[in-house]
Amino acid sequence: MASDRIGFIGLGRMGGPMALNIHKAGFPLTVYDVAEPALQPFRSRGIGIATSPLDVANKAEIIFACIPAPEISLAVAFGEDSISKGSAVKVYLECSTIGPDYIARIAEGLAPTGIAFLDTPISGGIPGAEQGTLSVVASGDPGALERARPAMSSYAKHIFHVANTPGPAQIAKLINNMLSTTGTIAAFEGMVFGAKAGLDVEALLDFINVSTGRNVATMQKIPANILTRKFGGKIETGVKDLGLFMKTAEKFGIKPYIAPRVQEVFRDAIDAGFDKETMRIVEFMEQRAGEGVMVKGKPAALEHEAGQIGRKL
């Protein structure tokens, strides 16, 4: 095992499990988060708790950051107590989805410090973070990536290196997120339509999942989160990522068609009060479809009354 000490900044729903996997793999670890509840799983395990990003950077050679917003990423990199002033840090990995413009600002700011900067956004959701099966798309110095790879492998099953400078990995991640998000919204619309028409939604899913309409939503999200009514996800993250996708595409002279329509669905859902969990957009669609429509379990058979197709409740 590499002898590098590891730091982790941002212990939210993704960062927390990722950092715990690094700890379980045996790496010496120091962590930091502004929220005390996020620190408790680490404090209870005797893991070192830092007082600031700078404190992490004075104690760890390799630092991972999993941050919820681009502005916070900038503050962690260059604020008053930032990693840029650290005495120990050699490699800094931004695991967040913040877009290539913010990545370029961080890379430019860190260049004079000699800290190697890697753009390493993640995909796979909370289950992937917990199980150590995330996918990472990385861009930046190949030597720095190899130095960080042992720790990364504790939370990632797949690591793809797409460029030798930071930024392109963000574009790849934004494309992935757009495809995932638009596919999810399309799947929700299809399932609500099926429920409204009285179809057995589980049978409909079984058909779709061995046919050409299948995607990650029909195969994973709907069975695990919608049929069970567990929901989940942060709706503001979807709005952020779609916005970054559109902004970045337009800089390349591409005017997106699909992403703006899907972001419109997100904003309409938020305006209607579904402003917390991404998966509750299906409830917004159910509401729009009419009273009693619910994508849940096995609905009753079709009824034909006065030429109308309805659903038994």
CATH class held by domain 171-311: mainly alpha
Grade residue 300 by pLDDT with cuts at 50, 70 and 90: very low
> Which pLDDT belongs to residue 298?
55
Grade residue 3 by pLDDT with cuts at 50, 70 and 90: confident
**Residue type at position 234:** K
Tell me: pLDDT of 212 over 50: yes
Of 95, 175, 163, nearest to 128 by C-alpha is 95
> Which pLDDT belongs to residue 305?
35
Intrachain domains 6-165 and 171-311 with the same fold: no
CATH superfamily of 6-165: NAD(P)-binding Rossmann-like Domain (3.40.50.720)
Catalytic member of 59, 173, 221, 240: 173
The CA-to-CA distance between both ends of the chain, in Å, stands at 59
- 234: number of Cβ within 10 Å: 14
- The conformational region for residue 61 under phi > 0 = left, psi -120 to 50 = alpha, else beta, is alpha
Domain extents for the chain? Answer: 6-165, 171-311
DSSP character string of 195-243: HHTT--HHHHHHHHTTSTT--HIIIIIIIIIITTT-----HHHHHHHHH
Residue bearing the bigger pLDDT, 1 or 200: 200
> Annotated catalytic, 173?
yes
- Rg of the Cα atoms in the chain: 22
Query: d(Cα 58, Cα 221) in Å, to the nearest integer?
Result: 41
